[in-house]
Chain A
Amino acid sequence: MKSIKELEAIREKALKEIAVRDNENKTRIVVGMATCGIAAGARQVMNAFVEELNKRNIHSVNVTMTGCVGVCRFEPIAEVIETNGEKTTYVKLDAEKARRIVAEHIVNGRPVFEFTIGAAEK
């Protein structure tokens, strides 16, 4: 260790690796992972969220799982819950859609309406 800079670099890198252990003031992406969700491909969706967030260096979002929401015909389902409690429910997802949600909703703050439950119900 020759400088503080070096220490800071290690710190930054390590913080990213353990960011998942901090869940205060974080946006959450909750993926439905009941039998129906898993059968419809929720695991790929969840992994796509994790990978995309990581690729974009976003560590203020945690990806978690939940059980069956009840609208199994819309699986895979994921909800984005922002720190202010605002909730957006996305349905019939796949890995590609998950990546778009990260890009548009998480990065740019614009929910992807065409994937929401509201759009699907119409």
Chain B
Amino acid sequence: MIYRSHVLICAGTGCTASKSADIEEALHKLLVEHGIDKEVKIVKTGCFGLCEKGPIMVIYPEGATYSKVTVKDVPEIVEEHLVKGRIVKRMLLGDKEARDVAKSLENVGFFSKQKRIALRNCGVINPENIDEYIAYDGYRALAKVLTGMKPQEVIDLIKKSGLRGRGGAGFPTGLKWQFAADAEGDQKYVCCNADEGDPGAFMDRSVLEGDPHTVLEAMTIAGYAIGANQGYIYVRAEYPIAVKRLNIAIEQAREYGLLGENIFGTAFSFDIDLRLGAGAFVCGEETALMTSIEGHRGEPRTRPPFPAVKGLFGKPTLLNNVETYANIPVIINKGPEWFTSIGTEKSKGTKVFAVGGKINNTGLVEIPMGTTLREVIYDIGGGIPNGKKFKAAQTGGPSGGCIPASHIDTPIDYDTLTALGSMMGSGGLIVMDEDNCMVDIAKFFLEFTVDESCGKCPPCRIGTKRMYEILEKITQGKGDESDIEKLEILADNIKKSALCGLGQTAPNPVLSTLQYFRDEYLAHVREKKCPAGVCKALVQYVIIEDKCKGCTLCAKKCPVGAISGELKKPHTIDISKCIKCGVCMESCKFKAIITQ
């Protein structure tokens, strides 16, 4: 069936949350009403990346991209664009001055500096239709590998590409495959780590939702390379859309014989099953993940033996992250030379980041390695809202650290981030401005690890808790300089003695904020002040007499009646009653209320 027009609607988690399913329903109804449902096809796709502007709708052949679409906008889109061919300019995404032209996605500032390899099909294909994946070269790499390459040749090709693990640590992928291939065993497994747990990170979810077949194809290739016939995808149950699409994809691949016995008429057989995680952060750690697949409580164990030697069910196992797999089919199709031409000397290819926090274009971006933080924040991310000053960016989530404003021109790759005391991590990138307190940020991440520590080893179970208590003390203005010292000693001990990656990296947010923002810690303990005005115990709201016009607005808004004064005369805040909620400051039109 050929349609004259395709309407692509984002059906990722972000846009679904902002009612893209209702939009689709309304659109379908109107297409039927106008008698054009046989001319216009609705295609549900994965994430376009620009979640801030969602729900996103793209109409072809014009390539018009509409942002922040609501159900109310649908009649106008149908009557104007789909019936009469007039693009609804007010809803077009892009720079205001360029709105008279129908712009394709690639021309919008947000996309122009990106290079989409892992996300190549997200927002382009219907993830629930294997044919569309095949149309964009899907399963070609698998065909090439199975019918024309020896397993060792596949491994050599991946080694040559310089691909490194996208889960965070950046271990060379080809080498990992080699270890698993060299290990002796009658049964081997290929696993996919889709237990994405960093606060604010959703790269893997978007790949699974937008392009599930790429993961299946890559895992099958990996199975051939290392000699495995069974794969497991460990995905969190909190990703219902991803789970649903993976199940559909597995069914379709089996139907086409792309999973199962004798794939492409060769002797190679491979199948994949899903295992759902309950959402424990520690299960993203490789040994805990495999323990969980085995049906036990998700706890890590000591390494060695490494999974490549003794992994799932005690057998040699290869474990890669979703994004790593998403790169494999493209590398095989286009060749390792193509891949090494992108990126920096030691970090090849691209990296997907989930950009959030104080940034205009919250969303998902894929950039070549070596792109600077400045480009990500200002050119792609559209800068900091409300003209505020950039302070730092946090990468690597609770295991990572921050990059201060002074290093904004650092090219992002594995090694530069490590040198700065942060890490690539799985790809969460949280932007902070002058209103963020760095001690508070460190406390936030530590609270997360305290919560998520599995409790197996004391350094992590007890140590992170003690660190959290010290931070709590500092943010309440009850700390002294010896507390900072204690933090550093504890951090060092935990790093050296914790059992797994979760504990070993848990002190990083504290260490890195101490490295770059020690003065903020000192202000908290010496002067009992929070420079950013975040830590409530250290903040006082006051009214500047000269600026107050006595409009009484703040007094009316104050929920506890702490503000008093006569009309047209300066008001005052009763500190003993004030609960420091900040409502008065937000409501004041004369900027007469400040924090001290």
Q: Does A23 contact B (CB under 8 A)?
A: yes
Taking a contact as CB atoms closer than 8 A, the residue among B63, B84, B265 that contacts A65 in the complex is B84
Is the beta-carbon distance between B134 and A11 smaller than 8 angstroms? yes
Task: Render A34-65 as a binary contact track against B, CB cut-off 8 A, 1 for contact.
Answer: 11001000000011001100100000001111
- A67 CB, min distance to chain B CBs, angstroms: 5
Interface size on B, as a range, is 35 or more
Taking a contact as CB atoms closer than 8 A, the residue among A7, A31, A34, A62 that contacts B139 in the complex is A7
Is the beta-carbon distance between A18 and B264 smaller than 8 angstroms? no
Cα A66 to Cα B84 with chains together (Å): 7
Is the beta-carbon distance between A14 and B135 smaller than 8 angstroms? yes
- Tell me the chain B residues, 93-136 only, with Cβ under 8 Å from chain A: 104, 124-125, 131-132, 134-135
Interface locus among B3-11, B482-490, B496-504, B542-550: B3-11
Is the beta-carbon distance between A2 and B1 smaller than 8 angstroms? no
Return the chain B residue nearest A50 by Cβ.
B4
Is the beta-carbon distance between B61 and A7 smaller than 8 angstroms? no
Q: Does B143 contact A (CB under 8 A)?
A: yes
Taking a contact as CB atoms closer than 8 A, the residue among A4, A7, A14, A50 that contacts B132 in the complex is A14
Cα A26 to Cα B143 with chains together (Å): 30
Chain B residues within an 8 Å CB radius of A20? 2-6, 60-61
- Tell me the chain B residues, 1-35 only, with Cβ under 8 Å from chain A: 1-6, 8
Is the beta-carbon distance between B264 and A62 smaller than 8 angstroms? no
- A66 CB, min distance to chain B CBs, angstroms: 5
Chain A residues within an 8 Å CB radius of B124? 21
- Tell me the chain A residues, 56-102 only, with Cβ under 8 Å from chain B: 62-67
Q: Does B86 contact A (CB under 8 A)?
A: yes
- B102 CB, min distance to chain A CBs, angstroms: 9
Is the beta-carbon distance between A1 and B263 smaller than 8 angstroms? yes
Q: Does B536 contact A (CB under 8 A)?
A: no
Cα A90 to Cα B264 with chains together (Å): 50
Chain A residues within an 8 Å CB radius of B5? 20
Q: Does B83 contact A (CB under 8 A)?
A: yes
- A29 CB, min distance to chain B CBs, angstroms: 10
Cα A30 to Cα B256 with chains together (Å): 39
- A98 CB, min distance to chain B CBs, angstroms: 13
Q: Does A16 contact B (CB under 8 A)?
A: yes
Is the beta-carbon distance between B85 and A66 smaller than 8 angstroms? yes
Residue of A1, A10, A11, A34 with most chain B CB atoms under a 10 A cut-off: A1
Q: Does B404 contact A (CB under 8 A)?
A: no
- B144 CB, min distance to chain A CBs, angstroms: 8
Chain A residues within an 8 Å CB radius of B63? 23
Q: Tell me the count of chain A residues lying within 8 A, CB to CB, of chain B.
A: 36
- A15 CB, min distance to chain B CBs, angstroms: 5
Return the chain B residue nearest A15 by Cβ.
B135
- A79 CB, min distance to chain B CBs, angstroms: 12
Number of A-B contacts (CB under 8 A): 95
Chain A residues within an 8 Å CB radius of B4? 20, 46-47, 50, 63
Q: Does B152 contact A (CB under 8 A)?
A: no
Is the beta-carbon distance between A38 and B265 smaller than 8 angstroms? no
Cα A81 to Cα B225 with chains together (Å): 50
Is the beta-carbon distance between B2 and A63 smaller than 8 angstroms? no
Is the beta-carbon distance between B61 and A64 smaller than 8 angstroms? yes
Is the beta-carbon distance between A3 and B264 smaller than 8 angstroms? yes
Q: Does A106 contact B (CB under 8 A)?
A: no
Chain A residues within an 8 Å CB radius of B137? 11
Is the beta-carbon distance between B134 and A14 smaller than 8 angstroms? yes
Cα A21 to Cα B104 with chains together (Å): 11
Q: Does B258 contact A (CB under 8 A)?
A: yes
Cα A16 to Cα B143 with chains together (Å): 21
Cα A3 to Cα B266 with chains together (Å): 9
Return the chain B residue nearest A21 by Cβ.
B60
Cα A32 to Cα B84 with chains together (Å): 8
Cα A7 to Cα B141 with chains together (Å): 11
Is the beta-carbon distance between A18 and B39 smaller than 8 angstroms? no
Chain A residues within an 8 Å CB radius of B184? none
Chain A residues within an 8 Å CB radius of B61? 20-21, 23, 26, 28, 62-64
Given contacts A33-B83, A50-B4, contact A13 B131 (CB under 8 A): yes
Cα A94 to Cα B10 with chains together (Å): 37
Cα A23 to Cα B102 with chains together (Å): 12
Taking a contact as CB atoms closer than 8 A, the residue among A1, A3, A14, A67 that contacts B256 in the complex is A1
Chain B residues within an 8 Å CB radius of A10? 131, 134, 256
- B9 CB, min distance to chain A CBs, angstroms: 13
Is the beta-carbon distance between B257 and A1 smaller than 8 angstroms? yes
Q: Does B140 contact A (CB under 8 A)?
A: yes
Q: Does A17 contact B (CB under 8 A)?
A: yes
Query: Given A1-B263, A7-B139, A33-B85, 18 more contacts at CB 8 Å?
Result: A1-B264, A3-B265, A4-B143, A7-B143, A11-B137, A13-B131, A14-B132, A14-B135, A17-B2, A21-B8, A21-B60, A23-B60, A23-B63, A26-B61, A28-B61, A51-B2, A64-B62, A65-B84
Q: Chain A: residues with CB nearer than 8 A to chain B?
A: 1-4, 7, 10-11, 13-18, 20-21, 23, 26, 28, 30-35, 38, 46-47, 50-51, 54, 62-67
A and B contact pairs by CB, cutoff 8 A, 8 listed: A2-B257, A2-B264, A3-B264, A14-B132, A20-B60, A33-B84, A63-B4, A65-B85
Ordered nearest first, which 5 A-B pairs have the shortest CB separation?
A: A65-B85, A14-B135, A62-B61, A14-B131, A1-B257
